[in-house]
Structure 1
Amino acid sequence: MGDPWRPGWRRSLGLCFLLLWSTALGAVELTVRELRDDPPAAEVLAGQHDARLAPPRPEATIQQSAREAQWWRIDAAAPVAVDTSPKLVLRSPFLYRVEAWVPGADAPVRHALYGEHADDRYSARSLVIDLPAGIPAGEPVWLRIEHRSTMLTAVSVETLDEIHRQDLAHVAWRSLVLTSLAVLVILALAFWGGTGERSYGYFGAMLLCAIGYLAAIGGDLRWLPWADAVFGTSAQTNRLFGCSGVVFSNLFQRSYLDLPRKLPWFDRLLAVGTGIAAFAAVCTLFGDWPVFSMAGNFALLYSAAVLLVASAVLAFDGDRVARVVLVSWLSLMVFSFLAALQMMGLWSGPAWLGQGLAGSFVLASLLLAIGLLDKLLQLRRDRDHASRQAVIDPVTKAMNRQGIEERLYREVEDARERAAPLSIAFVDVDRFKEINDCHGHSVGDQCLRIVSWRLRNQLRRNEAIGRYGGDEFLVVLPGRRQDEALSIAERMRISVNCRPLSTADLELVATLSIGVAELEPGESMASLFERADTALYASKSAGRDRASAAAPQEGLWTV
């Protein structure tokens, strides 16, 4: 590829650098400081409490996890002109209810993600506060924020055009995330109902909790009439979704990885995290206490660490399922770990962490769904194998009585529908009891295998043979008239008596007695069996080592 590509790469990198540089130049540097109590608005606006403001935060973010209401002061490093239609943007506000005092306004404006102060002109990604006079030099924006939240809210100044572009991207991204998760939920529950495999049920429940959690904290369901009461008044609902999601995630991984059998010690460790998450979920139903949020986040971090180590151990040992889990779950574990650290106040992440968490849910779910589909195919292969084994005779590897009767039933129905001929042959190994009595059952079994192979070699692909009893075989001959079936019976008889049956130490001579019958119009399967069996006994009575055709049925019968 060489030199022709280098100028193109230089131009592309140059354009990216210019775009980043222009964004940096256009960004407004903000300073955020908090007043850690709730004095009257007149005193705050008059500057009486400026001396008590906390030092500026390292980044322009708000995180109010300790108090129900307090004040925040936003200062711009440079004046913000009004000609660009500037807006103050609070990303990922979740439960915050904001009263904003902005320059040039006589009264505060109220904003919230849910309830009567929700602004449906913008997406749910942020609260957008108008700045009718911009931000003049030396004048701050004061925010009085009610409610606690562990979410990290980034603060920025953006133009109206920038807000609309980002809103469109946000709506497209959230639609993709939630729709993908919903489709996977439907598939998982359908597979659970179809197979009864518990891991599919746990997977579907985990994804339902993920949808509820993402929709609750992101405001995607704020258009519902009851959304404010369910999602906007406390963190109980999203905490319930989050803790329940940890429980179902652990149950899914435990079942999918088969930890009780493969790694019982890790299974016991994981049970601790599952118990903590379940306890936090139950307690959340009775009150909105921050300690349960801490317990849920701890359960998430602890369970993620246990599952990561367990899947790595199994993957190192060559476990295919564990490799799927490790690849699919790694990004989700990383994002969940970082989000939990941020909610616990131990780390301040970037503004896009929430969207990255949502995307990692989709990526992990898609990869796990592929792994579950592979498991479903394996289950189907195992089921088909078990079904085949259920109708296979273990000695001769031909069909057993159940299998050959089911095959005959299908062929009889097909022959009736198409008005096509169908014949059967009952085959009996002459004096087989003497072989067992003289040489033992192992020699007898070997003789049956040889007879079965020789009989099968005389049949076409669509014809079938099965061991009907101890030394009896039933041969199904679709499309064959009785005379054709009699010719095939003769070839089968000759194939056995033309040369001895050779075992490890013996060469035994064997002969066959065969009875052949053709299905007549309206005849029942029982009648067909009876006529073939009568023909078989006619061959035995005539001296054995021969094939006989059944006489036509006399009288009437009912199918």
Structure 2
Amino acid sequence: MGTGDPWRGACLRSLVLCWLLSWSGAIGAVGLEVRELRADLPASEVLAGRHDARLEPPRDTPTLQQPHRDAQWWRIAADTAVEAAASPKLVLRSPFLYRVQAWVPGAEAPTRHTLYGADADDRYSSRALVIDLPDGLRAGEPVWLRVERSSTMVTALSVESLDQVHRSDLAFVAWRSLVLTSLGVLVILALAFWGGTGERSYGYFGAMLLCAIGYLAAIGGDLRWMPGAEALFGTSAQTNRIFGCIGVVFSNLFQRSYLDLPRKLPWFDRLLAAGTVIAAVSGAASFFGDWSAFSLSGNFALLYSAVVLLVASAVLALGGDRVARVVLASWLSLMVFSFLAAAQMMGLWTGPAWLGQGLAGSFVLASLLLAIGLLDKLLQLRRDRDHASRQAVIDPVTKAMNRQGIEERLYREVEQARAQSTPLSIAFVDLDRFKEINDRHGHAIGDQCLRIVSWRLRNQLRRNEAIGRYGGDEFLVVLPGRAQHDALAIAERMRISVNCRPLSMSEIRIPATLSIGVAELDAGESMASLFERADAALYASKSAGRDRASAAHPPDGLWTV
């Protein structure tokens, strides 16, 4: 088998899963006529056909939606006969709050169906309510449904065989597991990054994803196994409205921080703040009651904020903003699905049955892309921090380490030498008569001389050895793993590399020499003592006539660390 076969197999399985999710699963594509009776009348009268004249005209699509009535009747009839041999089921997808009583042909009593509570049927997934049709259906024979509770959710109806129901349930469970697990992992990562970096964007991002998980679980019935789930999720739309409104608030705060709107687009930042306030007020009010006005205001806040963010990110992206391009790439699909879902809940249109699952998938896609964008931002912040750290210990003239940097390096090398019982030496290097060079040629030429000397010294060192500018014309060289006699030999090479030829700059050639003092760290010796002995050796080189390297005397007595 070739190396590409596993990839082709994975792609094929993904395509099959997507096909299962998008396929209606109806037996022979049974057409359904759906008519509503907008009144809660006695069952005996409705079943006897005494109110058929009051039925509304057939709906354009086989869907059920009753946002304004707490209870009413629905008449479902198939345009072709459905045989009982296939164990047919009437399937109501995305039922959310609806409590359904079903009168089917051949049954002696109605059956009760709901997503939450005692009437929930655990034999099937939470994607739908499944109603048995034990005797099948004759063409035009009605199934009567009494549906309680109002909801803005659109419930699609179809007739499926038992095998088709199970296949669709498996695909649904796989899809929901992927969605919720992906969001959960991203929440953990976002909160971990927030705790590790203190960057508020990650906190807002994690809170937004938590609200997304709560919202999807509330409307999808994923938590119906949880004790108290019916009271929390199945009695009203308050919980999902609260999750939705708080999610809009955190989404706006995240995008505001991530896009840096207060600095880049202050006008759009004020527009977005209005949507944030509306969502916050709607979410807070939903704690105290299930009022439809706050459902409308919450959906309006979502649509309004989506438009503002879309326009703001487009404006920034056109200006070359990299972060805004990430937002556009990741947020566009979620904005579209959120816009369509909110418009459907507001009664502006009736979407397809797969809209809810598309919204869930867009959450994952947007979150993954935004997580990648946040990670890129984190890496950029780290690069900036590392660059700033490097600049803080770099001498601007010679580009070698400055005094702080070379002392920190020496401290680490001393600790390592003590821990591993390895030798360590240092060398103090002084450019002879540097003041005369400055006085005669100016400080610009003096700085260039220091740069050339620094380059020549660095060329004599190994990779693990370091050099830093310690003072005006003085360098400190750290030589880990070098005993004093080796360090003295290196000091001689450094001295010869400078005095062997003049320092050449433009039309000026300046002869230069070095005075060097070398000292090796003794057991139990402090850094202060090491510095003093190297400095004394440097002074000895200068006193002896300069242009030479001298070794320090052993320390007098025991210097404690």
Q: Which amino acid aligns with 1:168?
A: L
TM-aligned CA deviation for residue 554 of structure 1: 2.4
Q: CA contact under 8 A between 1:448 and 1:471: conserved in structure 2?
A: yes
Q: Which amino acid aligns with 2:369?
A: L
Q: 2:503 aligns with which of 501, 520, 537?
A: 501
Q: 2:116 aligns with which of 114, 125, 132?
A: 114
Structure 2 residue runs without a partner (length 5+): 1-21
For 2:172 and 2:239, the matched residues in 1 are separated by: 23
- 2:181 partner SS: helix
Q: Which amino acid aligns with 1:206?
A: M
TM-aligned CA deviation for residue 205 of structure 1: 1.2
- Name the CA shift for 1:138/1:319 in 2 (closer, same or farther; >3 Å): closer
Q: 1:219-267: CA deviations, max 9, x gaps?
A: 0000001111111111111111111111212222222222222222222
- 2:66 partner SS: coil
- 1:90 partner SS: strand
Tell me the equivalent position of 1:5. none
For 2:63 and 2:379, the matched residues in 1 are separated by: 49
**Which stretch of structure 1 is more off in the superposition, 321-330 or 503-512?**
503-512
- 1:510 partner SS: coil
TM-aligned CA deviation for residue 457 of structure 1: 1.9
Q: Which amino acid aligns with 2:498?
A: V
Q: Which amino acid aligns with 1:159?
A: S
TM-aligned CA deviation for residue 273 of structure 1: 1.8
Q: Which amino acid aligns with 2:167?
A: R
For 1:374 and 1:429, the matched residues in 2 are separated by: 45
For 2:223 and 2:195, the matched residues in 1 are separated by: 28
- 1:152 partner SS: strand
Q: What are the residue-to-residue correspondences of 1:361-376 with 2, within 5 Å?
A: 361-376=363-378
Q: What are the residue-to-residue correspondences of 1:496-535 with 2, within 5 Å?
A: 496-503=498-505, 506-535=508-537
For 1:344 and 1:370, the matched residues in 2 are separated by: 33
Q: What are the residue-to-residue correspondences of 1:10-25 with 2, within 5 Å?
A: none
Q: CA contact under 8 A between 1:86 and 1:158: conserved in structure 2?
A: yes
For 2:259 and 2:170, the matched residues in 1 are separated by: 40
Q: 1:262-281: CA deviations, max 9, x gaps?
A: 22222222222222212211
Tell me the equivalent position of 1:270. 272
Percent same amino acid among aligned pairs? Answer: 82
TM-aligned CA deviation for residue 319 of structure 1: 2.2
Q: What are the residue-to-residue correspondences of 1:299-448 with 2, within 5 Å?
A: 299-448=301-450
TM-aligned CA deviation for residue 215 of structure 1: 0.6
Tell me the equivalent position of 2:492. 490
For 1:98 and 1:258, the matched residues in 2 are separated by: 49
Q: 1:48-100: CA deviations, max 9, x gaps?
A: 22222211111111111111111111122233332221111110000111111
For 1:313 and 1:238, the matched residues in 2 are separated by: 32
Q: 1:297-342: CA deviations, max 9, x gaps?
A: 1121122222222222222222222222212222111111111111
Tell me the equivalent position of 1:451. 453
Q: 1:329-374: CA deviations, max 9, x gaps?
A: 2211111111111111111111111111111111111122222222
Q: CA contact under 8 A between 1:103 and 1:136: conserved in structure 2?
A: no
Q: 1:50 aligns with which of 49, 52, 68?
A: 52
For 1:239 and 1:259, the matched residues in 2 are separated by: 27
Q: Which amino acid aligns with 2:500?
A: C
Q: Which amino acid aligns with 2:145?
A: L
TM-aligned CA deviation for residue 119 of structure 1: 0.7
Tell me the equivalent position of 2:224. 222
For 1:502 and 1:247, the matched residues in 2 are separated by: 65
For 1:256 and 1:326, the matched residues in 2 are separated by: 12
Tell me the equivalent position of 2:153. 151
Q: 1:61 aligns with which of 60, 63, 70?
A: 63
- Name the CA shift for 1:43/1:282 in 2 (closer, same or farther; >3 Å): same
**Which stretch of structure 1 is more off in the superposition, 27-36 or 260-269?**
260-269
Q: Aligned Cα RMSD in Å?
A: 2.1
TM-aligned CA deviation for residue 427 of structure 1: 1.4
TM-aligned CA deviation for residue 129 of structure 1: 1.1
**TM-score of the superposition, structure 2-length normalised?**
0.92
For 2:24 and 2:293, the matched residues in 1 are separated by: 44
TM-aligned CA deviation for residue 460 of structure 1: 1.7
Tell me the equivalent position of 1:36. 38
For 1:307 and 1:21, the matched residues in 2 are separated by: 33
**TM-score of the superposition, structure 1-length normalised?**
0.92
For 1:300 and 1:495, the matched residues in 2 are separated by: 71
TM-aligned CA deviation for residue 23 of structure 1: 7.1
- 1:63 partner SS: strand
Q: Which amino acid aligns with 1:67?
A: R
- 1:548 partner SS: strand
Q: CA contact under 8 A between 1:436 and 1:444: conserved in structure 2?
A: yes
Q: CA contact under 8 A between 1:400 and 1:466: conserved in structure 2?
A: yes
Q: CA contact under 8 A between 2:35 and 2:59: conserved in structure 1?
A: yes
Q: CA contact under 8 A between 1:81 and 1:134: conserved in structure 2?
A: yes
**Which stretch of structure 1 is more off in the superposition, 294-303 or 495-504?**
495-504
For 1:306 and 1:471, the matched residues in 2 are separated by: 59
Q: Which amino acid aligns with 2:251?
A: S
Tell me the equivalent position of 2:235. 233
Q: CA contact under 8 A between 2:393 and 2:402: conserved in structure 1?
A: yes
TM-aligned CA deviation for residue 404 of structure 1: 0.7
**Which stretch of structure 1 is more off in the superposition, 135-144 or 269-278?**
135-144
For 1:441 and 1:357, the matched residues in 2 are separated by: 67
The count of residues paired between Structure 1 and Structure 2 equals 541
Q: CA contact under 8 A between 1:458 and 1:491: conserved in structure 2?
A: yes
TM-aligned CA deviation for residue 114 of structure 1: 0.6
For 1:426 and 1:533, the matched residues in 2 are separated by: 7
Q: CA contact under 8 A between 2:25 and 2:164: conserved in structure 1?
A: no
Tell me the equivalent position of 1:17. none
Tell me the equivalent position of 1:543. 545
Q: CA contact under 8 A between 1:113 and 1:219: conserved in structure 2?
A: yes
Tell me the equivalent position of 2:9. none
- 1:516 partner SS: strand
Structure 1 residue runs without a partner (length 5+): 1-19
- Name the CA shift for 1:535/1:26 in 2 (closer, same or farther; >3 Å): same
TM-aligned CA deviation for residue 504 of structure 1: 5.1
For 1:389 and 1:134, the matched residues in 2 are separated by: 79
Q: Which amino acid aligns with 1:114?
A: Y
For 2:499 and 2:263, the matched residues in 1 are separated by: 54
